[in-house]
Structure 1
Amino acid sequence: MSLNEVWEAASATPFIPIVAKDRQFSVGFNLLLLALITGTFFALNRSFFSVISLGLPAALASGLHHKMEPLFAGVSNNAHHLYTLLSCIGFAHKATVQITPDGLRFSVEEGRVIQGLAFLDKSLFTSYTFNPSTDSGFNNLNATPQDDNESSQNGAYPHFVVSLSAVLETLKIFGINELSESNRPRDTSITHSGIASSSAFNAPALLMDRSCILQYAQHGAPLSITITEAGVKTTCELVTYEPDEDEADIPLQRDAIIMKIIMRSAWLHNAIAELDSSTPTILKLSACAKREPYFALSGAGGPFSESTVEFSVDQHNEIAGGAAHGTTQSQMHKVLFDDGSSRARATRAKLAPTVTETFLVSPPSSMGERIQQSYRFALIHKAARAMSVANKVSIRGDRQGVLSLQFMVELDDHNVPAGRPVGAGVKGPNGPVCFVDFRFVPLLDEEEAEMEMDAGVE
């Protein structure tokens, strides 16, 4: 049979492939893809069932985790503001932190006789995000975010305990400590109103380029602090703890305030520093609106003589009694002058100018016309840091003898002396205004007598 005959015979039965010509490319591509997937499963030693049963839930959980927003996140362009406020209550190692829509509330206490409260207002942060619906695993706590804005509605806000010492060390992790005016004694700066010199190489200028990010993801998560400076980023994750169930604030009866005195914090700081030189164990507070001494602080119980610093509410100098009263070794009266110094005087002189902006004393009839309370001097001295950086202090006391020292701290970015007076409001001419509050439990008569006897024996 010739080739032509074979060709004609084959044309009667044409060849039809299994895969149509127009589908051969797609079929080949699918087979190649299947080979790659099968080879991958074989290399990972995983079956197809295990990949679906384990990989798919993991992928979904990962997607949900990335979509979940943190419970709290805050960004501050000035980490030193946070450090300044928290260092005022740095006498304790641990602090209870409460997150509120208005800011962060840090609370420390020692022996249930002293409590320090520092409120980081949301105005200190360039970005402040609070998502209370993210986590619901918090217990109620009858606490308030700020002393002057107490409300029982804040009890449901999340709270936890964190190491305050670790927080302070983290905020100054790059080695830049405090501002120059914070290190300067207050008695040398209260009379200056000019702006201190500043350069590109001093601590305030270096602190301007430091940012701080605080983040708390959920209940039980660590507190994350990220510090960024000059392109260097450091992240610290601090372990958080559950607060004690019986933890509560030292109560201050606002409807039973019998004493309210507002003055420059520098005067109080200088007075405590003067009394500290005699190493007392007891601080006696005396206030009267009708006769001298109008407001006096005395240090007693120490190994040395008892000393007293007297304040006045009059606007002119006046010698009380017209005659000099002799001083003894056991009683020394000191008077504060305009330059911040104190000098011993045989006569009690009133201050010029006035050192108190507000002086309200209204004791109950059972106390007489004078308010007298005693406190542990060592506890009052723990507020010295707040006294040194604050502008003003509000001294309040209730009928139970609880003492409240509320300090107004004006934060500044330009190294302006902290003693510059500011008006009322949450923001002064140089920066935001924040508050730090200390509360002290008074000494009972038996405790005071016991401490004086112990000091006499020593």
Structure 2
Amino acid sequence: MSLNTIWETSKAPYYPIVAKEGQFAVGFALLFVALLLTGLFGLNRSFLNIPLLGLPASLAFGSLVDLNYSSPATMEPIFSAVSNDAYHLYTLLRCIGFAEKARIQITPDGIRFSVEESRVMQGLVFLDRALFTTYTFNAPPPQDRNDDTLDNEESTGDVYPQFLISLTALLETLQIFGIGDANQSSFMPNGSFQNTSGGAFSSPALLLGRTCALRYSSPGSPLCITLSESGVTTTCELTTYESDDPSFGSAGSEVDIPLQRDAIIMKIIMRSAWLYNAINELDATDPTVLTISASSKNAPFLTLSGSGGPFSESSVKFSTDKENGESEANYKNLQDDGSKRAKLAPAVTETFQVNPPSSMGSLVKENYRFALIRKASRAMAAASKVSIRGDIQGVLSLQFMIELGGGNGEGDLGPARGGTRHVSFVDFRFVPLVGQEDDEEGGEENRDSEGW
């Protein structure tokens, strides 16, 4: 099947002769008529009854079989999309590749992937429909959803298709033509990134002819992935699963690690490379706990500390530029409206907001498992900027901005398509450690907001 045929198939709507909501009634009626005519013919077998009873019974059985086997296969799929840049999809999904399975939610605006570990870490990737050349979504009718989902829908609004899929298998499928070969050795076993430069004959330089088509026909059906390159087409069907979690099937936001957007006490935007380098420096001492401290009044204004490992405690401090002193460059935008306050901020930050409640003093301090933070290093290496947010409960959000399509410089991944560039976000959320020693200056809460 050619790529043009796939595009036309994904766009052309299919209208069955019998509507899906009426197929059961029609099928039952045909079956009843067929059994009735067959019974009458069996009671009075004669040449006269063959055209009167036998042939209509055969036609009824044949129509029933055709309705059951032909219509579902040709019905309009719930979701179909085609992307000209399979590498972009691979890059974003690999940022959350630390988990074996991912939860997928298909919406009219894009595809949402989420993974978690022990309910204390969550990774979120949203593939916007702008990343696809064609994107078609047809919400399944209510009868295709279970009763529990229908009960929840009354209070949560539209509930879109959700299922689990093997993320490992999906990543292997996307790189079946060697999409990730050149970058495979760039990532260390612990999730760290080793910067390497590719040539003219390495990916992503050789990805211009690759396309990826996704298709999800009906609830419970496999996710079909069709990859095409230079006339070679490969189709893979990945099994979809339903979660045993009772909350599965409800709105996606209900199962996320909650971030209180109305109780943000820390918001920092900086180049992702600075955070990536700091985590790598701390990783050398093999710590078990990462402590994040931020202050709006006292230096150092932002500190990342690693402790609990076999070596001594280590820290990375972000301070103002000592050569410039308290110059205008050190005063950052501390308010959402862009106005400035008379507070200093680290020179590496673009936005620095630290507003702890009066009970905490001027210092925001929280502890997290270092091993979990390190699993976000792939996103750190691929992103151009990071938004560090924390709420009053200590929940940490690291939202990475990844620029796709430029191919020039840090954060620009993949080949350019006629100058088209897309910006995507990968969001990680972490639950703080409970019971860790608190400093005398407070040290409780962390981040919030919509990041940028």
Label 1:187 to 1:55 Cα distance change in 2 as closer, same or farther (>3 A): closer
Partner in structure 1 of residue 286 of structure 2: 279
1:417 aligns with 2:409: yes
Label 1:443 to 1:307 Cα distance change in 2 as closer, same or farther (>3 A): same
Instruction: Give the Cα separation in 1 of the matches to 2:207 and 2:298.
Output: 49
Instruction: Give the Cα separation in 2 of the matches to 1:317 and 1:154.
Output: 56
1:242 aligns with 2:242: yes
Deviations 1:243-280 (A, max 9, x none): 32235110000000000000000000000000000000
Which of the residues 314, 318, 329 maps onto 1:307?
314
Shift of 1:175: 2.4
Which of the residues 137, 140, 144 maps onto 2:145?
137
Instruction: Give, as a single letter, the amino acid of the residue that structure 2 aligns with 1:433.
Output: V
Label 1:140 to 1:198 Cα distance change in 2 as closer, same or farther (>3 A): farther
Instruction: Give the Cα separation in 2 of the matches to 1:430 and 1:183.
Output: 26
Deviates more, 1:173-182 or 1:134-143: 134-143
Partner in structure 1 of residue 213 of structure 2: 213
Partner in structure 1 of residue 92 of structure 2: 85
Shift of 1:317: 2.9
Partner in structure 1 of residue 277 of structure 2: 270
Label 1:446 to 1:155 Cα distance change in 2 as closer, same or farther (>3 A): farther
The answer to whether the 8 Å contact 2:85/2:210 transfers is yes
Instruction: Give the Cα separation in 1 of the matches to 2:77 and 2:281.
Output: 49
Instruction: Give the Cα separation in 2 of the matches to 1:251 and 1:319.
Output: 39
Partner in structure 1 of residue 178 of structure 2: 175
**What secondary structure is seen at the aligned counterpart in 1 of 2:241?**
coil
Which of the residues 213, 235, 257 maps onto 2:264?
257
Shift of 1:89: 0.4
Shift of 1:65: 3.0
Partner in structure 2 of residue 365 of structure 1: 358
The answer to whether the 8 Å contact 1:408/1:433 transfers is yes
Instruction: Give the Cα separation in 2 of the matches to 1:258 and 1:419.
Output: 28
Partner in structure 1 of residue 427 of structure 2: 437
Partner in structure 2 of residue 327 of structure 1: none
The answer to whether the 8 Å contact 1:316/1:351 transfers is no
Q: Report which of the two structures shows the higher radius of gyration computed on alpha carbons.
A: 1
Q: Which ranges in structure 2 are unaligned for 5 or more consecutive residues?
A: 1-53, 249-254, 327-343, 440-452
Which of the residues 394, 398, 415 maps onto 2:391?
398
Partner in structure 2 of residue 222 of structure 1: 222
Label 1:364 to 1:141 Cα distance change in 2 as closer, same or farther (>3 A): farther
Instruction: Give the Cα separation in 1 of the matches to 2:171 and 2:193.
Output: 23
Instruction: Give the Cα separation in 2 of the matches to 1:183 and 1:403.
Output: 27
Shift of 1:231: 1.3
Partner in structure 2 of residue 232 of structure 1: 232
Instruction: Give the alignment's TM-score, normalised by structure 1.
Output: 0.70
Instruction: Give the Cα separation in 1 of the matches to 2:271 and 2:185.
Output: 16
**What secondary structure is seen at the aligned counterpart in 1 of 2:282?**
helix
Label 1:60 to 1:155 Cα distance change in 2 as closer, same or farther (>3 A): closer
Partner in structure 1 of residue 65 of structure 2: 58
Instruction: Give, as a single letter, the amino acid of the residue that structure 1 aligns with 2:205.
Output: A
Shift of 1:405: 0.1
Instruction: Give the alignment's TM-score, normalised by structure 2.
Output: 0.71
Instruction: Give the Cα separation in 2 of the matches to 1:68 and 1:448.
Output: 60
Instruction: Give the Cα separation in 1 of the matches to 2:137 and 2:259.
Output: 29
Instruction: Give the Cα separation in 2 of the matches to 1:172 and 1:295.
Output: 39
Partner in structure 2 of residue 11 of structure 1: none
Matches within 5 A, 1:35-46: none
Label 1:315 to 1:141 Cα distance change in 2 as closer, same or farther (>3 A): farther
Label 1:66 to 1:176 Cα distance change in 2 as closer, same or farther (>3 A): closer
The answer to whether the 8 Å contact 2:102/2:165 transfers is yes
Instruction: Give the Cα separation in 2 of the matches to 1:273 and 1:283.
Output: 12
Shift of 1:153: 5.8
Instruction: Give, as a single letter, the amino acid of the residue that structure 1 aligns with 2:164.
Output: V
Shift of 1:448: 9.2
Instruction: Give the Cα separation in 2 of the matches to 1:178 and 1:384.
Output: 19
Instruction: Give the Cα separation in 2 of the matches to 1:227 and 1:153.
Output: 36
Label 1:296 to 1:126 Cα distance change in 2 as closer, same or farther (>3 A): same
**What secondary structure is seen at the aligned counterpart in 1 of 2:275?**
helix
Shift of 1:177: 1.2
Instruction: Give the Cα separation in 2 of the matches to 1:372 and 1:400.
Output: 11
Shift of 1:444: 1.0
Instruction: Give the Cα separation in 1 of the matches to 2:151 and 2:88.
Output: 27
Partner in structure 1 of residue 167 of structure 2: 164
1:317 aligns with 2:317: no
1:125 aligns with 2:132: yes
Shift of 1:418: 2.8
Instruction: Give the Cα separation in 1 of the matches to 2:82 and 2:164.
Output: 21
Instruction: Give the Cα separation in 2 of the matches to 1:60 and 1:283.
Output: 60
**What secondary structure is seen at the aligned counterpart in 1 of 2:397?**
strand
Instruction: Give the Cα separation in 2 of the matches to 1:395 and 1:142.
Output: 37
Shift of 1:234: 1.1
Shift of 1:182: 9.7
**What secondary structure is seen at the aligned counterpart in 2 of 1:183?**
coil
**What secondary structure is seen at the aligned counterpart in 1 of 2:63?**
helix
Instruction: Give, as a single letter, the amino acid of the residue that structure 1 aligns with 2:238.
Output: L
Shift of 1:204: 1.6
Deviations 1:334-364 (A, max 9, x none): xxxxxxxxxxxxxxxx999x21000000011
Instruction: Give the Cα separation in 2 of the matches to 1:255 and 1:71.
Output: 36
Instruction: Give the Cα separation in 2 of the matches to 1:179 and 1:142.
Output: 48
Instruction: Give the Cα separation in 2 of the matches to 1:141 and 1:54.
Output: 34
Label 1:181 to 1:57 Cα distance change in 2 as closer, same or farther (>3 A): closer
Shift of 1:74: 0.8
The answer to whether the 8 Å contact 1:179/1:415 transfers is no
Shift of 1:319: 8.6
